[in-house]
A and B are shown apart, each in its own frame.
Chain A
Amino acid sequence: MLPELGHFALILAMLLAALQAFFGIAGPALGRDRWTAAVTPAVAGQFVMVSTSVACLIASFVANDFSVTYIAENSNSALPLGYRVAAMWGAHEGSLLLWIFLLGCWTVAVAIGVSRLPPRFAARVLGVLGVVSFGFLLFTLATSNPFLRLDPPAPDGRDLNPILQDPALAIHPPILYTGYVGFAVAFAFGCAAMLEGRMDQMWARWTRPWATSAWAFLSVGIALGSWWAYYELGWGGYWFWDPVENASFMPWLMGTALIHSLAVTEKRGLFKSWTLLLAVLAFSLSLLGTFLVRSGVLVSVHSFAADPTRGIFILVFLIVMIGGALTLYAWRAPLLKSQAGFDLLSRESFLLFNNILLVIGAATVFAGTMAPLISDALNLGTLSVGTPYFNPTFMLSMLPLLALLSLGIRANWKRGRLGAAQRTILTTLVIAAIAGVILVYGVYSHGKVLSPVAATLGAWIILSSLVDPIDRIRRKLTLPRSVIGMSVAHIGLGIFVISVTTVESFTLERDVALGQGESAVVGNYEFRFQGIKPIEGPNYNGVEGTVVVTRHGVPTSVAYPQKRQYWVQRQVTTEASIQMHHGSNVFVALGDELGAGKWSVRFQIRPLVNFLWLGAFIMAVGGAIAATDRRYRVAPQAVTAPVATPGVAAGEGAG
């Protein structure tokens, strides 16, 4: 009963999404105010239907309804309750439903948020979101229905993939998708502006909090995925430049450029076509990511079971959405010129460099990710691109960006006046350089050339971000959330940079064969292997090793690395022991039994690695703070900026 209800609700949701799209776009275009007004009820109705559908699916999971194919493939009666719920988004079909649900949540939030904006513009935004919803609902119902029945029903399920039975990985998709999907809002705002034929500074102000919050969610989502990979995948790696990872990183880079470009457009009415293009591209890359993961075009550790039929469907959807938006862009963007100017060393300039470097960074990742596809399509052979390509090429655009950040953050709008800030700039640079050198050579006693440079840049960013807030507090000036948010986010970035530097430069790793009582020395630590004992859990059994950790001769802790075998899928996972010591991670993981009582064991010392994710999280917090600045929550007034930028095409009636 429940699955049928869920299925039916989904069909209704699709119809309502179609109405939402139709009323939202045709209403304002044809000047029909009744249609324009019908959008909001359509939004509400669609959301109710989608929520019903999701609720039905989750309820069926909890009730262990193995007559539904999707549930039989992804759950099991021995699966703990929490994971039975999380299993709903554990594979392709359900994760699509999650996507659609989160899009519904954003749409409802937008509907509430735009209720004080001009109704036709608001309707257009919701209409574009309706098109996206409709596309995904159609795709799900046509090719990826989670409610299909299994006849005869399975006696029990095939269990959720054991690696997904983990708290971080359970919440990683919802948070990540919230970010991915969130860029649809900025996309919709951009399309609405293009449909209206008008884009001004108020538009930028309206769009900014939506873009920033989506960006914050995506930051957390990516960081969670990286953190999970680190402690679950057993290699101590946190980023593999895997195609699916890149698929989430590219929208993030574009999103970062977008939120900065929006600042310029809001403040000075400049960079309009840039901002518009970035808004379109950020979501386009999200959609592209969806395509790459589900179409079988790229083979990846992360990808869902692939199917070319789905691939074709999504490709058509991509062509309609992205092709449509870019066509609009080609048509409307030429009209968005402005005559405002700025100095070479002004804030606008630095944000321009920021835009360019981030786009180049994203393009680099794009090139490396798509290279195997492109090479194959052009019959240039089977190409393989991994970390040895991405690391140096990505750094090529990022290092200049990190350096320019500390300068740009001190520049004034329009006229720069960096000269006045010269002293503080130099002071912060010198302190940062000293800190960087001490860190690299003092604490760790060695390093490649790049290490102190990168550490200095990270420290410089942190110091530079503190200058303005401290100055304001001292002079008792206002400290709006936008400034706090900006500073916090940049500090997070600086922490992240320092952490990446130490991890990449100073990680120690050794694989050793150890018998009972034998020890290995890695860095300042000594590890003594005390043997293995069998263990059992709710849906697995396995072995657990005992390793005594000693630092400089002083016993510090005991590590208990495990290897588990899950009963149903008979899969073996490694639960590494990860402990924090003096800010570093000490990582111990079991390898294989080598016979004669010996086991191979992997040891890693990773300095400051936790600050990597902490830094990312702080960035997201900064974004959240900035997004809740007062001026976004105050009712919009008439445009008060002194420059009414001449980015106008036709009037209201034209679409």
Chain B
Amino acid sequence: MMRRVVIHTVLVCLLVASASTYAVDPTEMPTPELQRRYLGLTHELRCMQCQNEAISDSPVSLAADLRRQVREMLLAGKSDDDVRNYMVARYGDFILFRPRVAASTIWLWAAPGVLLLIGAAVAVRITKQRAALVAQDNEPVDEDIRSS
């Protein structure tokens, strides 16, 4: 039963999202700075109903309500983090497109850097090894780059 409703919701959102009916949000905030922050936040928050879209793009009414919430909080002088914390307290980490840097996500954020370090170590080891081999190597090879 639960699965049926989930599939139903997902299908509705698939139709909606893939139907390319998206929200056009002609909100104007009173200052360019606020406008920039508003756009930034609405693009960063996931629409919880159509979960592959941001609330800036999603046409469902929940997205409009969440956009209103962001607008009101910004007008009330709240910071970007206040808005994010507000949303996460109600919907969990899933509402953020950018995963938070926390103990549970540290592996994800660290992965690329760690991989690069490993890659560099591998590169150093192999090039050293092969450079040593080429020193003793008299065999003729068509070195010309003109043959790949």
Establish whether A and B are touching in the complex (CB under 8 Å).
yes
Q: Verify A384–B94 contact, CB threshold 8 A.
A: yes
A342 to B145, CA, bound (A): 14
28 contacts between A and B (CB under 8 A): A163-B19, A232-B20, A268-B141, A305-B11, A341-B134, A341-B135, A341-B137, A342-B130, A342-B134, A343-B134, A364-B112, A367-B111, A382-B92, A383-B93, A383-B99, A384-B46, A384-B93, A384-B96, A415-B134, A468-B146, A477-B146, A511-B25, A511-B27, A513-B26, A569-B15, A571-B15, A642-B139, A643-B141
Q: Verify A572–B21 contact, CB threshold 8 A.
A: yes
Query: Chain A's nearest CB lies how many Å from the CB of B72?
Result: 19
Q: Verify B116–A411 contact, CB threshold 8 A.
A: no
Chain A residues touching B, majority SS: mixed
Residues of B near any A CB (own CB < 8 A): 7, 10-11, 14-15, 17-27, 44, 46, 51-52, 57, 59, 92-99, 104-105, 108-109, 111-113, 115-116, 119, 122-123, 126-127, 130-137, 139-148
A410 to B10, CA, bound (A): 52
A410 — which chain B residues lie within 8 A by C-beta? 145
Q: Verify B116–A397 contact, CB threshold 8 A.
A: yes
Q: Verify B135–A360 contact, CB threshold 8 A.
A: no
Q: Verify B21–A602 contact, CB threshold 8 A.
A: no
B98 — which chain A residues lie within 8 A by C-beta? 386, 388-389
Task: State which residues 586-633 of A face B: CB under 8 Å.
Answer: 589-592, 594, 600-602
A267 — which chain B residues lie within 8 A by C-beta? 147-148
A330 within 8 A of B: no
A573 within 8 A of B: yes
- Please give me the 6 A-B residue pairs with the lowest Cβ-Cβ distance, nearest first: A591-B24, A341-B133, A341-B134, A386-B97, A388-B98, A234-B20
- Nearest to A338 among chain B residues (CB) is B133
Query: Chain A's nearest CB lies how many Å from the CB of B20?
Result: 4
A415 — which chain B residues lie within 8 A by C-beta? 134, 143
A486 — which chain B residues lie within 8 A by C-beta? 148
B92 — which chain A residues lie within 8 A by C-beta? 381-382
Q: A511-B26, A591-B23, A600-B25 are in contact. Are A352 and B108 (CB under 8 A)?
A: no
Query: Chain B's nearest CB lies how many Å from the CB of A273?
Result: 12
- Nearest to A308 among chain B residues (CB) is B3
A560 within 8 A of B: no
CB-contact partner of B18 in A233, A381, A385, A513, under 8 A: A233
CB-contact partner of B108 in A234, A340, A368, A643, under 8 A: A368
How many contacting A-B pairs (Cβ < 8 A)? Answer: 194
Q: Verify A412–B133 contact, CB threshold 8 A.
A: no
Q: Verify A381–B108 contact, CB threshold 8 A.
A: no
Q: How would residues 335 to 364 of chain A score, 1 for a CB under 8 Å from any chain B CB and 0 otherwise?
A: 000011111100111001100110110011
B104 — which chain A residues lie within 8 A by C-beta? 375, 380-381, 383
A571 to B97, CA, bound (A): 27
A328 within 8 A of B: no
CB-contact partner of A642 in B96, B141, B144, under 8 A: B141
Q: Verify B93–A341 contact, CB threshold 8 A.
A: no
CB-contact partner of A413 in B96, B130, B141, under 8 A: B141
- Nearest to B97 among chain A residues (CB) is A386
- Nearest to B20 among chain A residues (CB) is A234
Query: Chain B's nearest CB lies how many Å from the CB of A411?
Result: 7
- Nearest to A382 among chain B residues (CB) is B94
A533 to B123, CA, bound (A): 63
A574 to B24, CA, bound (A): 12
Q: Verify B145–A344 contact, CB threshold 8 A.
A: no
CB-contact partner of B146 in A353, A388, A472, under 8 A: A472
Q: Verify A353–B123 contact, CB threshold 8 A.
A: yes
A214 within 8 A of B: no
CB-contact partner of A344 in B11, B131, B147, under 8 A: B131
B21 — which chain A residues lie within 8 A by C-beta? 234, 563, 572-574
B140 — which chain A residues lie within 8 A by C-beta? 642
Interface contacts beyond A234-B20, A486-B148, A572-B19: sample of 15 additional A-B pairs, CB < 8 Å, sorted by A: A235-B20, A301-B17, A301-B18, A301-B52, A341-B135, A342-B131, A343-B131, A383-B94, A383-B108, A412-B145, A511-B25, A574-B20, A591-B24, A642-B139, A643-B141
CB-contact partner of B26 in A353, A472, A574, A600, under 8 A: A600
- Nearest to B39 among chain A residues (CB) is A509
Q: Which of B10, B18, B27, B116 has the most CB of A within 10 A?
A: B18
A442 to B70, CA, bound (A): 37
A589 — which chain B residues lie within 8 A by C-beta? 24
Query: Chain B's nearest CB lies how many Å from the CB of A628?
Result: 15
Query: Chain B's nearest CB lies how many Å from the CB of A496?
Result: 21
